[in-house]
Structures are given as C-alpha cells and as structure tokens.
Amino acid sequence: MKKLWAPWRMKYITGAADKNQRGCIFCNKPAGKADQRNYILYRGQKAFVIMNIFPYNNGHLMIAPYRHVGDFPALNDAELLDIMQLAQACQKAMSAVMKPQGYNLGFNLGRVAGAGIEDHVHLHLVPRWNGDTNFMPVLADTKVVSEALEDTYKKLKRELDNINKNTKQ
C-alpha cells in the first residue's frame, strides 16, 4: 500500500488553524503588507483576492470585500461590482495558466451552507477538471492537491497582474 502524506492538513482537520488565528482572516491578511506570504493575489478598490490555504482544488481562490460584513444583502453596489469583476479577471487568469475544464463559483452563507468563516462574506472560485473528484475523498476523506500553493500563486499572480495592467490601459 502506498502512503500519501499531507501533514499541513492537520491544522485544518484539528481546528488548530482557527485557534492560532485571532480575528478575521479577511480583515487581518489584507491589513498587512506581506501579500505573497498571505497568498493575496490582487487588491481591488473594494475587495481583494486571496488563495484558500485549505483548497478544494489547485487554484481555489476567495474574493472578499475589505469591509467586515457577514450579511450578503449588506454589501454595497461598489463592493458587489468589484467582487464580480475580480472573479472575471481570476477566471481569465486561471483559464490562461491552469486550463481548467469548468469552474465552481459561489458564496457559502451561514454555517449550515458550508461557510467556514461565516461573519465575513466571500466568494469562492474553484477551477475544476474532469476526474478531479476520485476515490480519495470518498474512501479516505482525503483530497489530493497536486501543486504547491507557492507555485500556483506565482502563476496566477503573474497572469492577474497582466490582465489588470491591460484592463487599465
């Protein structure tokens, strides 16, 4: 029998990641200047793009407003527009560098809907490939992510910067 080692997942499984984090990650991470270390790919006017460090698939991104708001209807028009425009730019970047065959795009609103962080609204963008769901999640409760976060960050960051530079011209 072959073994698959993913020790970094233990923080997520045990909840240690939550215990080590004080406050809201969607407020704390963009407040700092260490974008690469915090996996912040892009900063918009009202929202920003951050990689999910416990991804469902390679390239799993989250787009959140800077303002701490947990109620979707409380988002203002500028926040909604920025979130959606960033989602479009991220999908373009993913298509260019990762070539997924589909996408999941959505909000998990409330704990019972799957929100891991329910007091700060955020949009998930997950690239999908044929066969990316296999026996591992079903039989072993394990998801295989085949690329390091740092490598995915570099590819997507470069492409997002190019897309946004060309959009502003």
Round to whole Å and give the CA distance between 154 and 107: 25
Strands 123-128 vs 61-65: parallel, antiparallel or unpaired: antiparallel
> What pLDDT, on the 0 to 100 scale, is given for residue 10?
62
Read off the amino acid at residue 75.
L
**Residue 46 to residue 5: CA distance in whole angstroms:** 39
Where does 20-168 sit in CATH, by number? Answer: 3.30.428.10
**b/e per residue 52-80 (b: at least 16 CB within 10 A):** beebbbbbbbbbbbbeebeeeeebeeebe
Q: Please tell me the predicted confidence (pLDDT) of residue 103.
A: 94
Q: pLDDT in tens for each of the 169 residues of the chain?
A: 455 555 655 665 565 555 445 789 999 999 999 999 999 999 999 999 999 988 888 899 999 999 999 999 999 999 999 999 999 999 999 999 999 999 999 999 888 888 888 899 999 999 998 877 644 444 445 555 667 888 888 999 999 988 877 776 5
pLDDT at 143: 54
pLDDT for the residue numbered 140: 45
Q: Which residue has the tokens 């704390």?
A: 28
Task: Spell out the SS3 assignment of 99-135.
Answer: CCCEEEEEECCCHHHCCCCCCCCCEEEEEECCCCCCH
Kindly list the domain boundaries of the chain, sorted by start residue. Answer: 20-168
pTM: 0.77
